[in-house]
Structure 1
Amino acid sequence: MKTLLFALLLLPSLLVAAELPDIQTVPPDLVVPALSEGTPAAGKRVRLGLNVLYLPTDWKADTKWPVIVELAGNGGYKNKYGDVSTGLPEGSNLGYGLSGGKGFIWLCVPYLNAKGDQIAITWWGDKPSYDPQPTLKHLRESVQSLCRDFSGDETKVVLAGFSRGAIACSYLGLHDDETAKLWCAFFAYSHYDGVHKWPYPASDRESALTRLQRLGNRPQFICGEGANAKQTEAYLRPLAPQADLTFLGTGFRNHNDAWTLRPSSARDKAREWLKRVTSSR
């Protein structure tokens, strides 16, 4: 019965998605730089411990830079449209697509297992407890060291995520006061904390509302394929009627963050929002 109910809830979104164009019908105007070896430098994307760091082409060490911290979707995902998610930080696209490779430091941070020594491809921690604490500790330390070592502006750090990462924008990003204070804004693409129940503890709506109360007046851009964003808006607007929330469909049918590597009106609006939330602080 629960499976049937969930399928019925998803049906409008699936029907809308089927009528929308595939991202492959729009040629990309951006290509995420390949991972390079060696020291971080302007225009390079390098592995930094478990993280993946990109410094913009215009980066200089004597200037403070806004930062996009990105969390990936669950790994092992593939759908009928050919959309794939590896669950690894190097598979992420949002930060590069939103910035165009300029003006923003882009840091992709993984989720960690319970011991904190390996990347968790699905959710965070280990079954059945899905302990988020190692991931939260790594996330906080990564932001702090980035701002210290690469001139990131600690007042202009945007937390972004796709799918699992979109849920994590609130589940992890607003999990506790220490973590919540790091962010100036949130970009959640496809899914949202509290809309559906998931296999990890405290995914229920009451727990999600507790986390949402840490948002304050900070902006959130919430988008998704099909009717995904509309479903989130129906859930979230009554809970936070005064919040600075933007809801938008991507205009594509795909569950794939590579939509940001292609020109679209949704990307234009997302970039305008990003400029607003990082220039006003």
Structure 2
Amino acid sequence: MNTIRYAAVSIALSWLCGSPLSTANENATDELWNHLRSADQLVDVRDASVKFADAAETRTLRFQVTQAPTLQKTAWVAVPAPAAGWQLGQTKSVCVTAKNTGQSKTSVTLWVVGTSGWSAVGDAAELAAGQSQTLCCDLRDSFKDGTPRIDPNQIRQIRFMVQNVNTTSLEFRKLITQGSADAFKPSAGRLSVPKLTNGNPAPGRRVRYPLAGAESDDLYCVVYLPTDWTPGASFPVIAEFPGNFYCHAGRCWSPGRPEQCVIGYGATKGQGAIWISLPFVDRETNSVAESGFGSDAGDDTVDYANRALDEICSRWGGDPDNVVLSGFSRGAIACGYIGLRNKTMAQRWKGFITCQHYDGSNWRQSNLPDAVVRAPRFAGQAIFQLDNSQAKYQAVVDATDPAVVWTWAQSGLGDHDTAMFLDDRPCMKQLRKWFDDLVGS
């Protein structure tokens, strides 16, 4: 009887303290999801059903996809960081054991995702039915030039992702750290993009910003007011389109959403200009289009961008005569494909900043002949191209007003990523001077 009473009291105390009832978390004290009481606290669940099925000494996450995912046959779920973070600055790797409990081969990726931009490290495997494998993300992985892919002190979530599937089921166990490393130190002058928050814009804050009269919670831009912003003053605006959804371990992490943008912060260091990250728009679902240019061949994105810029200028002091459009990859192509869609839209821009692609890249609806038709509509003063080949886009250059000043620079990063924009490398010093000279003229 005393044993029964003791067990009952223990269970009650566990419930009152907010701890899981499973013995898994009592024994696996170092697992990285121990701060979650239930699967309801998992985040970013996309096209999958998930639940914890703790048993014996192991916490197990069961992950099931019952119909083909809507975005490139990709489904995922994420473990959010605890309030105080995971404190991984002296950790080598994050690992999980994945088991394919489905009937067919499944591609699975473990991602450790940073707080901003494209910062992430991943490890992938192709699992046959019934096969188990431990995946490990190297927190000290770097780009070809040695730049770290991620700051282990600034981790937002750990994500489990399956790709190229119609239906599947998996189990994930033992989400742990492995190995130690010297304390991580970011490079001198490295910028840290402010974390995304909700609420009204304020100096130094980066906020999720639905337009007035927004009809959907999943359609928004991201607005940052510079640290020196004051009411009634006028500020240049740097607008930015994000890259396309593209997530492949060891190559690229791009979720395709406006919060991944970093160019505007890197170009301004958070001072002297308003930065707005724009979505591509899918009006069929009233949501952010993570892949492609949006519905109606991008016309709905054009409409949203115009409304967003009008609102930022009228409500927050943006100078409509001092707006620069920027983008990376898909976003770089959009500078021409979206930004020069018509003469009215084209008149907005004083300059472009594009990186790793440009209009005419023969991607989706953007092709070189049409880019040549759009090019003369650019009515600004200057275009800054980073990591692009002038020879590849010479036909577009030739079709642009000869008065436009082109700058061609190389980052040296050696990978398809935006990490260079947060560094103090030579190309960024050049870009920051270019931007200051342009908006100050």
Query: What SS is found at the alignment partner of 2:334?
Result: helix
Residue range with higher mean Cα deviation, 166-175 or 31-40: 31-40
State TM-score, norm by structure 2: 0.54
Residue 306 (structure 2) pairs with residue 146 (structure 1):
no
Question: Which residue number corresponds to residue 260 of structure 2?
Answer: 91
**Distance in structure 1 (CA, Å) of the matches to 2:250 and 2:208:** 31
Residue 378 (structure 2) pairs with residue 215 (structure 1):
yes
Structure of higher RCO (CA pairs closer than 8 Å, 6+ residues apart): 1
**Distance in structure 1 (CA, Å) of the matches to 2:317 and 2:397:** 36
Once the two structures are superposed, what CA deviation does each residue of 1:46-79 show, in whole Å capped at 9, x if it has no partner? 1111010000111001210001100000013336
Once the two structures are superposed, what CA deviation does each residue of 1:146-205 show, in whole Å capped at 9, x if it has no partner? 0000000111110000000000001100010111111111101110111x31232xx232
Gaps of 5+ in 2: 1-142, 150-185, 211-219
**Distance in structure 1 (CA, Å) of the matches to 2:304 and 2:227:** 26
2:278 to 109, 126, 129: 109
1:24 to 148, 154, 172: 148
Residue 405 (structure 2) pairs with residue 244 (structure 1):
yes
2:202 to 15, 28, 41: 41
Residue 329 (structure 2) pairs with residue 163 (structure 1):
yes
Paired residues of 1:229 and 1:249 also in contact (CA < 8 A): no
State TM-score, norm by structure 1: 0.83
Question: Which residue number corresponds to residue 174 of structure 1?
Answer: 340
Could you say which structure has the higher strand fraction?
A: 2
Give 1:223 deviation, angstroms: 0.8
The change in CA–CA distance for 1:67 and 1:247 in structure 2 (over 3 A counts) is same
Residue 239 (structure 2) pairs with residue 76 (structure 1):
no
Question: Which residue number corresponds to residue 13 of structure 1?
Answer: none
The change in CA–CA distance for 1:99 and 1:20 in structure 2 (over 3 A counts) is same
**Distance in structure 2 (CA, Å) of the matches to 1:206 and 1:106:** 32
2:221 to 34, 47, 51: 51
**Distance in structure 1 (CA, Å) of the matches to 2:196 and 2:367:** 38
**Distance in structure 2 (CA, Å) of the matches to 1:232 and 1:79:** 28
Query: What SS is found at the alignment partner of 2:349?
Result: coil
Percent of pairs with identical residues: 31
Give 1:23 deviation, angstroms: 2.7
Give 1:251 deviation, angstroms: 1.7
**Distance in structure 2 (CA, Å) of the matches to 1:191 and 1:75:** 15
The change in CA–CA distance for 1:161 and 1:116 in structure 2 (over 3 A counts) is farther
2:291 to 122, 140, 149: 122
Paired residues of 1:72 and 1:89 also in contact (CA < 8 A): yes
Once the two structures are superposed, what CA deviation does each residue of 1:59-115 show, in whole Å capped at 9, x if it has no partner? 00121000110000001333634x311110001111011110111110001001143
Give 1:237 deviation, angstroms: 4.2
Query: What SS is found at the alignment partner of 2:389?
Result: helix
Give 1:240 deviation, angstroms: 4.1
Question: Which residue number corresponds to residue 205 of structure 1?
Answer: 368
Paired residues of 1:23 and 1:254 also in contact (CA < 8 A): no
Instruction: Tell me how many residue pairs correspond in the alignment.
Output: 252
Q: 1:55-66 counterparts in 2 under 5 A?
A: 55-66=225-236
Quick one: which amino acid aligns to residue 178 of structure 1?
Answer: T
Question: Which residue number corresponds to residue 275 of structure 1?
Answer: 436
The change in CA–CA distance for 1:181 and 1:241 in structure 2 (over 3 A counts) is closer
The change in CA–CA distance for 1:99 and 1:236 in structure 2 (over 3 A counts) is same
Question: Which residue number corresponds to residue 229 of structure 1?
Answer: 389
Give 1:37 deviation, angstroms: 2.4
Quick one: which amino acid aligns to residue 187 of structure 1?
Answer: I
**Structure showing greater Rg:** 2
Give 1:234 deviation, angstroms: 4.4
Computed over aligned residues only, the root mean square deviation of the Cα atoms, in angstroms, reads 2.1
Quick one: which amino acid aligns to residue 155 of structure 1?
Answer: D
**Distance in structure 1 (CA, Å) of the matches to 2:283 and 2:298:** 8
Query: What SS is found at the alignment partner of 2:288?
Result: coil
Quick one: which amino acid aligns to residue 43 of structure 1?
Answer: G
**Distance in structure 1 (CA, Å) of the matches to 2:355 and 2:329:** 6
Give 1:116 deviation, angstroms: 6.7
Quick one: which amino acid aligns to residue 121 of structure 1?
Answer: E
**Distance in structure 1 (CA, Å) of the matches to 2:386 and 2:411:** 6
**Distance in structure 2 (CA, Å) of the matches to 1:248 and 1:167:** 17
**Distance in structure 1 (CA, Å) of the matches to 2:308 and 2:383:** 22
